[in-house]
Structure 1
Amino acid sequence: MVGKKIIGCFLVLLTFSTAPLFAQDECELTLARAQEEFNEGHLYGIPGLLSDCLEKNQNTEWRQRAYLLLAETYLLLEDPLGAEQSYLNVLRANPEFLPDQSRDPIDLVYLSRKFTASPIFSFWASAGPNVSPVRIIHDVNIGGESGIKQKYSLKVGYHADAGFDYHYDEHISASLGVSFSSTVFKHTTNNLFGQNKDIVEMTDRQSWISIPVSVKYSDNVGRIRPYGYLGFTFRTLLTDNANIKIFNRDTKDLTGGTEEIASSDKQSPTLNFKDKRQTFNQAAFVGGGIKYKYKLDYFFVDVRYAFGLKNMVNADRRYDDITYRWTYVDDDFRLDNLSISIGYIHPFYKARKLKHARTKSVLRKIKKDDNADK
């Protein structure tokens, strides 16, 4: 009894799983028959012949071929509205379809120039590492000795971004996004309070929310498409936390060098530097990358450099308890950012009729062919 139930369930599942395949095979035969009718000039029955399959067959490749045949049929029947509606459905099935001038009928090529399915908007998201070079505006040191040496070192942060592109045409687009980033840099002071004396290391970590706006130029041909852009970003500082290490060294000069006679190290807890920073900042950026087309979407690799435009330091809070307790003072500086991103783009294709048809090139070809025939 149990075995019969299992066999019955299996047969039901088999029926449901194979039904779409039978329907597709049936529609393939129907389309082949419609093509034969078209070749023989029996045009009036083709729309009715394909109507049932167009309602139930959702295979995009099949629908493209079926609607393309209907568009050619309506053109020969001198039914422009039917031809236009059929070609719109071709683009809904395959937004990137373009007739081949050397293969397809010239009237179909002419019709195609009245339509487009190019995306008006695209969604994108990306993430990756970054580093933040420091550009000093004015050097400030706490010790005052001439032998003090300072340097800034790069540390790796990260970022995650998302946004939308508005496509003005096939090459130019405007982009608006939102970005969360974590940036890090390290400042080292050597020879504090004398030659071969104390070393102070400060590691500063910031988190930001940013609104980047840009204008982009992209190639629109091929599977691999380069692009470049210029933009401006508004940045808001969310947090700024620092850790300071102090290496206290006492040395005495000897012939041929120095000898360390005492040493003690000290490390701070996490210090809140947000009050010592400007909360709002701006940056101009330039970047570019490569998009890889996969089906109707894209994956991309992007490199961007942002130039900080404003002093990061709140001069009113430069000197406080942290300054004297941990022997660290900020320089005036701007914070740049170099980022690498890996991301994904999803275009929102929209089949539509153009306000201004792009038919001039087709008309020139028709005239050229006419002149060649004379």
Structure 2
Amino acid sequence: MMKDTKRNVLLVIALFSVFIVLTSRGAFAQSVVCTQNLDRAQAMFDIGDLPGIPTLLMPCIKGGGFSKEETIRALEIMTETYLYQDDLANADIWMIELLKADPEHKLDPSLDPQEIILHKEKFRYKPIFRVSGSIGLNRSSYRLITSYSLWSEDDQSVYTPGIQFNGFAQIEKEVYPGFDVGLGLGYVLKTFSAESEVIYGKAASDASDPLTVAQGLGNLATYSENYAVLEAPVFVKYTYYGDGERTFNPYVFAGMSFDYLVNAKQTSTRRANQSERDGVKASATLPDPNLVADERRKALTYYGFAGLGVKIRRKTHFFFVEARYNHGMMNIVNGDNRFPSEITADGNKQESIFNIGLVDNDFTLDGVTVVGGFQLSIYNPQKLKEKRLK
């Protein structure tokens, strides 16, 4: 029984191998014949023997007997053949097939007939739009607008920028050679931290609070804020493509981003310089307020940006790297809830703000964003309408 099974398996393998060999030989034979037909078609075109060319090339085009390069060459010969026969309807059909097979097909004025060069200009052969995806890092910096310090007229805090991640998807459309307009959607994380020494002057001691300081002493308060933001940038971009064959294509851009705050939290710690009761430094981490639930940050904001980058050509698509500066254009703090008078959404009372000795200033976030990604060109070749040709 086992011998019969083994024999059957070997038989199946042998038959499959024979099938592969015969198929490969058939495909190779077809490829050889199609290459010969393409050479014959070119020779016939050169001497003006046009009527027989479609019959010679059509089976290999439809049957996949050509390589990629041979297909492009065959489609160009088909288009030129119908142009010379004044069959513009078929010339249009094969020009579209040529542009589908080879978007932005390059023609050489010194080698290609003038007829096909002029005919190509009657078609839309550039991308209808480009889509891209990118990931990167952003550095967020606190910029004070108005100080609301509880203890002095000037904000004495030291702010440290933070670095976080971002991801974007964008779509662009060319409106003039080299100039694109675009919009996108991004998910961006932002963070910064701060340190502030709060001097109480002649504050009275409170033995019930180990962090209450003696007269003339103070607290060192530290906190960080973390944001998750949905961003919708709109922008204008100029790219220098040169002759269209450059590998590296520099560009500049500028625009605005409209943001929706998904989440924002603050982590706070207060450390007393000296305790009234035991003379030992003490510290405490306060509850983390949810700045969105407490409505202490505005849900909708916007900022302006400008930057530069370079596209690295990969056939008709691009890898790219870019950097931009982001400039906050509005206060992101909700002033109506600067001093909450009731228990907040996460259970913290008004006293939590005063325990740390800090209150929200009016501020915005600036920053630098660096990303890398890939841009895909989307084509849909069509013949242009007559009024667009004029």
Q: TM-score range by the shorter chain?
A: 0.7 to 0.9
Match of 2:209 in 1: none
Match of 1:268 in 2: 286
Match of 2:204 in 1: none
Distance 2:30 2:256 in 1: 54
1:203 aligns with 2:224: yes
1:171 aligns with 2:192: no
State the AA in 2 paired with 1:174. V
Tell whether the 8 Å contact from 1:190 to 1:196 is kept in structure 2 after alignment.
no
Distance 1:38 1:242 in 2: 76
1:61 aligns with 2:69: yes
Match of 1:3 in 2: 10
Distance 2:297 2:137 in 1: 23
Tell whether the 8 Å contact from 1:98 to 1:112 is kept in structure 2 after alignment.
no
What's the Cα RMSD here?
2.6
Match of 1:47 in 2: 54
Change (3 A) 1:20 1:358: farther
- Structure number with the higher strand fraction is 1
Match of 2:339 in 1: 319
Distance 2:386 2:252 in 1: 28
Change (3 A) 1:356 1:214: farther
1:116 aligns with 2:124: yes
Q: 1:101 aligns with which of 109, 125, 147?
A: 109
Greater mean deviation of Cα atoms: 229-238 or 83-92:
83-92
1:80 aligns with 2:79: no
Greater mean deviation of Cα atoms: 235-244 or 55-64:
55-64
Structure 1, unpaired ranges of 5+: 252-260, 361-374
Match of 1:352 in 2: 382
Match of 2:149 in 1: 141
Tell whether the 8 Å contact from 1:60 to 1:94 is kept in structure 2 after alignment.
no
Change (3 A) 1:358 1:62: farther
TM (norm. structure 2) is: 0.83
TM (norm. structure 1) is: 0.86
Change (3 A) 1:265 1:229: same
SS at match of 1:89: helix
Tell whether the 8 Å contact from 2:268 to 2:356 is kept in structure 1 after alignment.
yes
Change (3 A) 1:189 1:175: same
SS at match of 2:95: helix
Match of 1:237 in 2: 261
SS at match of 1:340: strand
Identity of aligned residues (%): 27
Change (3 A) 1:247 1:20: farther
Change (3 A) 1:190 1:351: same
TM superposition shift of 1:115: 2.2
1:286 aligns with 2:276: no
Tell whether the 8 Å contact from 2:269 to 2:284 is kept in structure 1 after alignment.
yes
TM superposition shift of 1:171: 1.5
Tell whether the 8 Å contact from 2:143 to 2:366 is kept in structure 1 after alignment.
yes
